[in-house]
Amino acid sequence: MADRSSNVLFLCTGNTARSILAEGILRKDGAGRFNALSAGSQPKGTVNPFALKALDSLGYPAHGFRSKSWDEFAKPDAPVMDFIFTVCDSAAGEACPVWLGHPATAHWASRIPPQSRAATSRRNEPSCRPPNTSRIGSRPFLPCPCTALIRSR
């Protein structure tokens, strides 16, 4: 059996910051091993500009992201996910769609405050500063022996 890249989906309620950061970090750091994607249960439709600024300041590509619904990844023609991680407490507590392929799932809590609590988008700027982005969860995931995990499921 030929090794393939593992599909990883990061979920957050709005798909505006935390899940975008995780997708961006894993997309670059896990290139060749992981196909990183993100979505939200209630997508806001726009990506937080401070999240894109944080990615750019850390040397990660900050383009090609969009806020989208997790329903896109529950369709029959969607890529089969190997791993799904919620990165906000709200999404972790919601009823998720039925995922094809029985992916491994986990919740990685983030200390980044949800956008809904901010009175203005300017108040979200601290939540996307570089020290916080490393807590998103994709970096600790990189050394994972994912091929072995996929085969054992």
Task: List, in order of start, the domains of the chain with CATH numbers.
Answer: 6-142 (3.40.50.2300)
For range 65-70, the mean pLDDT:
96
**DSSP-derived pairing of the beta strands 83-86 and 34-40:** unpaired
For range 86-95, the mean pLDDT:
70
Confidence (pLDDT) at 143: 54
Confidence (pLDDT) at 144: 54
Evaluate if residue 109 carries a pLDDT over 70.
Answer: no
Confidence (pLDDT) at 138: 52
The pTM is what?
0.76
For range 95-120, the mean pLDDT:
65
Confidence (pLDDT) at 97: 75
Q: What is the mean pLDDT of the chain?
A: 76
Evaluate if residue 72 carries a pLDDT over 60.
Answer: yes
User: Comparing 86 with 139, which gets the higher pLDDT?
Assistant: 86
For range 118-138, the mean pLDDT:
46
Confidence (pLDDT) at 20: 95
Evaluate if residue 129 carries a pLDDT over 50.
Answer: no
Confidence (pLDDT) at 139: 54
**71-76 long-range contacts, CB within 8 A, separation 24+:** 71/97, 72/39, 73/9, 73/37, 73/39, 73/97, 73/99, 74/98, 74/99, 74/100, 76/100
